[in-house]
Structure 1
Amino acid sequence: MAGTQFTHIFSYEELKEATNGFSPLKELGDGGFGTVYKGKLRDGRIVAVKRLYQNNNRRAEQFMNEVDILSRLQHPNLVSLYGCTTSTSSELLLVYEYVSNGTVADHLHGPRSYENALTWPIRLSIAMETANALAYLHAVEPPVIHRDVKTNNILLDNEFHVKVGDFGLSRLFPSDVSHVSTFPMGTPGYVDPVYHECYQLTDRSDVYSFGVVLVELISSKPAVDLSRTRDEINLANLALNMIQRSELDELVDPALGFQSNWEIRRMISLVAELAFQCLQSDRDMRPSIKEVLEALKIIEKGGHDGDKLEKEKLSKDSHLVQSGANFSPVTVMNRWESSSTTPNTSL
């Protein structure tokens, strides 16, 4: 495993001690491949310990994959891997930095939603930092496709800064190919429909998933809700329908000030348009995550660089972006011209 020579090896006994024998009282949550516990190492560090499920016949593969990928990466918006047990250990354990403030999903529509802590500025910052992390992944060599971008995998610290985690499904992506053919994996509600139907994974698959995250941030609705009507169980479909029908008022979380604050209304409308582009069924019509990040930066600045964005990023399609306050849901019907579907290889 390239890079794993720098990964610290913990003993099973040390991690069992750190988590009080994997006490249920220490559980932070369950992931797709294991249970995560809060622990305290002998050197005093507070950590999160992922204990892979014993009955998962792919656990060794997921373990090796996550160690291999995370040992290559270092970014302020990615969860840091502190170490692991050996791959031959009877228990496969991964040790990460502890991120104290729960997940974005917890705060949007989970057990912490009652706190109403995610104001619009914080949500926009979460979107930008998540896009920044994904842009880094897509730009490293070889590029990394996360393949499970969702609000449950976006952790928050006490200042609401982002740490993207859970790389069990991630894939190293050759920079000289347009896609990788692989069996579709991911979380329902977030999986790129092209990937699901054609088994073709690209960097635009992460962009689609990020589009769902953007809609969650503006709506506070979960990605999948069986109580919604059949064609709107998936939040992506619900959002596309409402934006096309100019019903953004019904989609946006009313607590954000969409009705009462013109500036917030304008910014949320811009983010909704960006999400619409990310969720296009034709992946060639989706922007790259780098383009998404640039657009979010302009939105955060108040859209005053709208003309610059139009000239520099969207010169091939002058109908997509209108300047400043003239940006309306109608414009998302037009095509985002993207120069390539291959991963970006430079920051």
Structure 2
Amino acid sequence: MAERVEFRERIPRECLEQMQVIASGGFGTIYRALHRDWRIPIAVKKLSRDTCSREELLAEARAMDKARFVYILRLFGLYEEEEEGWNSGPRLGIVMEYMENGSLATLLERVKPVPWPLRFRLLHQVALGMNYLHGLHPPLLHLDLKPSNVLLNLELHVRLADFGLSKFKRVTTKQGTERSGDEDDYGGTLEYMPPESLIDINYKPTPATDVYSYAILTWSVLTGEQPYSNLLPKCMSSLLRMHLPRGQRPNMEELKEITGVEGLEDMKELMKRCWHNDSWERPTFKDCSNETEKIFSCHKSKILPAVRQVQDVLMMMASSPSDESRPSVSVPTPAAAESSHLHTFPPSSLGVSEQCQTLRYEDRPCREDGNPNSKIKGQEFLHPAGP
């Protein structure tokens, strides 16, 4: 059904039923709903107040609609709602496919460990989706590539979301005032932003911007952790801004302990090339997808049981009475021969990500002791990028 629905320039509130909040973040609020005529579940992202004009959003949505590809989230049209107290016209948003399994961020936090065949397939599909976006004329940059913007369908296939919308995100400056993301930082998320964006006042994003973000996303998928999670928001973001341009990156120590996983060393080398300090030294997504295809091919024969394992875990968690109390769940090893291919990482200290959530680094809670002056040495959370 979804493939036959054409882009609509206006999808009014009256067309939607059973709207339920599923997440909120930098853009606004995200809902699950049922389309009254199409009879399919959809997702609605209502934008924050004064985010953009209808003309700006429509122009961006039309560009997004042209990017129809198997690993790209399907956009159905613009949402409009007359809302009380909304003086500058109707409340705006976008209507998209609903992804049953939420985001890659949710998966990484709830399932520990994600089986290696699935990890490599996820990384390969993200590279394929980004290669398609960059291959458009002109190239369509994502500018906020991270696990919470990689959504997963029932079969755990990738759908890239929120590409091109980062300019409309509300961001917070160090002084606590708000400005739109396209004024000087393009609405990206700090941990995933390339070093050149932190030091060059004339910085303009390029395809290499997304390649760097892909490297940090790769680190998260390989480790099951969030980058720089020892760092504390607001109080410590200045350390990231200082150390990343000097070549420091997420810690590699845990990855060094993992052995016997075919293709892992090649994936780590690709990751390091993608987060190179010099943007012109980073590979293209065509190069990346060629590499990830080779790596995933080594695990292709094991992908179906790996997917079924994770689906079973997610179904079990979905039937849990309380979402807030859900722990991360370990995936059992399918066979003794594969035991060396699985490595359990400690659960993240942060809570479970909400589906489709888009959060900025500065939005996360501060450290438990509440002391913004607590000292954390750079080497405790950062790792030299290496050659």
TM above 0.5, one fold?
A: yes
User: Could you tell me which of 124, 127, 133 is aligned with 1:128?
Assistant: 124
Aligned-partner SS, 1:29:
strand
Contact 2:30 2:44 in 1 (8 A): yes
Aligned pairs for 1:93-242 (under 5 A) are: 93-109=93-109, 113=110, 115-116=111-112, 118-169=114-165, 183-185=184-186, 186-198=188-200, 199-227=203-231, 240=249, 242=251
Aligned-partner SS, 1:131:
helix
Contact 2:99 2:152 in 1 (8 A): yes
Contact 2:22 2:32 in 1 (8 A): yes
User: For residues 258-300 of structure 1, what are the alpha-carbon distances to aligned partners after superposition, in whole Å with 9 as ceiling and x for unaligned?
Assistant: 34xx2x1x42222111111111111111111110111111222
Contact 1:135 1:289 in 2 (8 A): yes
User: For residues 73-129 of structure 1, what are the alpha-carbon distances to aligned partners after superposition, in whole Å with 9 as ceiling and x for unaligned?
Assistant: 1101000011113699511121101111011111113xxx1x337211101100000
1:224 Cα deviation after fit: 3.8
Aligned-partner SS, 1:68:
helix
1:28 aligns with 2:22: yes
Structure 1 partner of 2:67 = 73
Contact 1:19 1:37 in 2 (8 A): no
Structure 2 partner of 1:271 = 267
Instruction: Give the CA RMSD over aligned residues.
Output: 3.3
Task: Kindly provide the amino acid, as one letter, of the partner of residue 271 in structure 1.
Answer: M
Structure 1 partner of 2:281 = 285
Contact 1:99 1:155 in 2 (8 A): yes
Task: Kindly provide the amino acid, as one letter, of the partner of residue 78 in structure 1.
Answer: I
Going from structure 1 to structure 2, the CA distance change for 1:274 and 1:14 (only over 3 Å counts) comes to same
User: Could you tell me which of 40, 43, 46 is aligned with 1:45?
Assistant: 40
Going from structure 1 to structure 2, the CA distance change for 1:146 and 1:90 (only over 3 Å counts) comes to same
Once residues 8 and 239 of structure 1 are traced to their aligned partners in structure 2, the CA distance between those partners, rounded to angstroms, is 45
Structure 1 partner of 2:366 = none
Task: Flag the structure with more relative contact order, 1 or 2, with Cα contacts below 8 A and sequence separation at least 6.
Answer: 2
Contact 1:52 1:93 in 2 (8 A): yes
Aligned-partner SS, 2:125:
helix
Task: Kindly provide the amino acid, as one letter, of the partner of residue 278 in structure 2.
Answer: D
Going from structure 1 to structure 2, the CA distance change for 1:214 and 1:8 (only over 3 Å counts) comes to same
1:183 Cα deviation after fit: 2.4
Task: Kindly provide the amino acid, as one letter, of the partner of residue 206 in structure 1.
Answer: D
Task: Kindly provide the amino acid, as one letter, of the partner of residue 58 in structure 1.
Answer: C
Structure 1 partner of 2:17 = 18
Once residues 53 and 45 of structure 2 are traced to their aligned partners in structure 1, the CA distance between those partners, rounded to angstroms, is 12
Task: Kindly provide the amino acid, as one letter, of the partner of residue 28 in structure 2.
Answer: G
For structure 2, the residue ranges without an aligned partner over 5 or more in a row are 1-5, 82-87, 168-181, 300-384
Once residues 333 and 138 of structure 1 are traced to their aligned partners in structure 2, the CA distance between those partners, rounded to angstroms, is 27
1:11 Cα deviation after fit: 4.3
Aligned-partner SS, 1:159:
coil
Once residues 292 and 281 of structure 2 are traced to their aligned partners in structure 1, the CA distance between those partners, rounded to angstroms, is 18
Once residues 241 and 146 of structure 1 are traced to their aligned partners in structure 2, the CA distance between those partners, rounded to angstroms, is 22
Once residues 97 and 208 of structure 1 are traced to their aligned partners in structure 2, the CA distance between those partners, rounded to angstroms, is 27
Task: Kindly provide the amino acid, as one letter, of the partner of residue 284 in structure 1.
Answer: W
For structure 1, the residue ranges without an aligned partner over 5 or more in a row are 1-5, 21-25, 172-180, 304-331, 335-347
Structure 2 partner of 1:85 = 79
Task: Kindly provide the amino acid, as one letter, of the partner of residue 266 in structure 2.
Answer: L
1:302 Cα deviation after fit: 3.7
Contact 1:81 1:95 in 2 (8 A): yes
Task: Kindly provide the amino acid, as one letter, of the partner of residue 30 in structure 2.
Answer: V
Going from structure 1 to structure 2, the CA distance change for 1:167 and 1:56 (only over 3 Å counts) comes to farther
Contact 2:31 2:44 in 1 (8 A): yes
Number of equivalent positions: 268
Going from structure 1 to structure 2, the CA distance change for 1:196 and 1:231 (only over 3 Å counts) comes to closer
